Structure 1
Amino acid sequence: MTRILFWVALAFLVVAAVRAKLRANIRRQQEEIAAQARRQAARPPAVTAEPMLCCAHCGMYYPASENVPAGGRDYCSAAHTPAP
């Protein structure tokens, strides 16, 4: 009878230890996920790329914000626009 109680107690302790270890791992993973979410929330938003245009005179690519339109074409600077 004592051997049966010993094995039952041993099985109970093994199951309890495994469950405790699994609970600790789940808790650690949840903390890591929460920390990662906090880091991503604190990170500044990614800079979006600006469209690039090609100069009709020299063929250089430049940001669309620096565009000098003339005669329906795009130029990188006023020096490259055709003379009127």
Structure 2
Amino acid sequence: MKYLLLLIVLALVFYMLGRKRQPPPAQPPASSAPPPVSRGQTMVACAHCGLHLPEQESLPGRGGAFCSTEHRAAYEAAHARP
């Protein structure tokens, strides 16, 4: 019985020593710089209806930016100078 217990203890010791010799799992290197942040588009509101749209897609007019030619014409007709 003593020898069986001694054998189990020795097997456990050798098992633990064998686990410590294995290299730890590889981890990806931690980068010091955060990932680049992409900048969003500048949004503008249509001066006639208030719809928000990207500045590149808006139509410029006398009253600001517009979402369509119809809204630009309607705004300019409503706000025409006498």
Q: Give TM-score, length-normalised by structure 2.
A: 0.49
More helix by share: 1
Structure showing greater Rg: 2
